[in-house]
Amino acid sequence: MVVEGVLREAEIEALPDEEEMDAAGYHARPEDITAWKDVLEGRAGRAALAPYLADPTLEVPSLLTRWHSATLAPLPGRLRSLAARMLRRMVRSPGFLARFILDDPSARPDVDDDAADDDWTSLIHRRYETPPSAGESARQRFEAYLETLQRAVGLEEQIAAYEDASRNRDVVTRVTGSVASTERDRLFMGFNTPLVPEVLIVTTVGQEGIDLHRECRHVVHHDLPWNPATLEQRTGRVDRIGSKTERIRSNGNGGCSLDVAVPYIAGTYDEHRFRVVHGRAHIFEVTMGGEYAVDGHRVVDDAMEAERVDDDLGEQGSVWTPIPQCIADDLRLHLDAETPNPEPDEA
Q: How far apart are the first and last CA of the chain?
A: 83
Round the average pLDDT of the chain to a whole number and report it. Answer: 75
> For position 11, what pLDDT does the model report?
39
Q: Which has the minimum average pLDDT: 11-25, 74-88, 206-220?
A: 11-25
Condensed to tens digits (0 to 9), the pLDDT of residues 263-295 reads 888 888 888 898 899 888 888 877 777 665 544
**Model-level pTM greater than 0.85?**
no
Q: Which has the minimum average pLDDT: 35-44, 128-137, 331-340?
A: 35-44
SS3 for the chain is CCCCCEEECCEEECCCCHHHHHHCCCCCCHHHHHHHHHHHHCHHHHHHHHHHCCCCCCCCCCHHHHHCHHHHCCCCHHHHHHHHHHHHHHHCCHHHHHHHHCCCHHHCCCCCCHHHHHHHHHHHHHHHCCCCCCCCCHHHHHHHHHHHHHHCCCCHHHHHHHHHHCCCCCCEEEECCCCCHHHHHHHHHHHCCCCCCCEEEECHHHCCCCCCCCCCCEEECCCCCCCHHHHHHHHCCCCCCCCHHHHHHHCCCCCCCCEEECCCCCCCHHHHHHHHHHHHHHHHHHHCCCCCCCHHHCCECCCCCCCCEECCCCCEEECCCCCCHHHHHHHCCCCCCCCCCCCCCCC
Return the higher-pLDDT residue of 261 and 64: 261
Return the higher-pLDDT residue of 247 and 61: 247
In this prediction, residues 11-37 reach a mean pLDDT of: 53
Q: Which of 86-95, 325-334, 335-344: highest mean pLDDT?
A: 86-95
pLDDT at 163 exceeding the cut of 70: yes
> For position 56, what pLDDT does the model report?
40
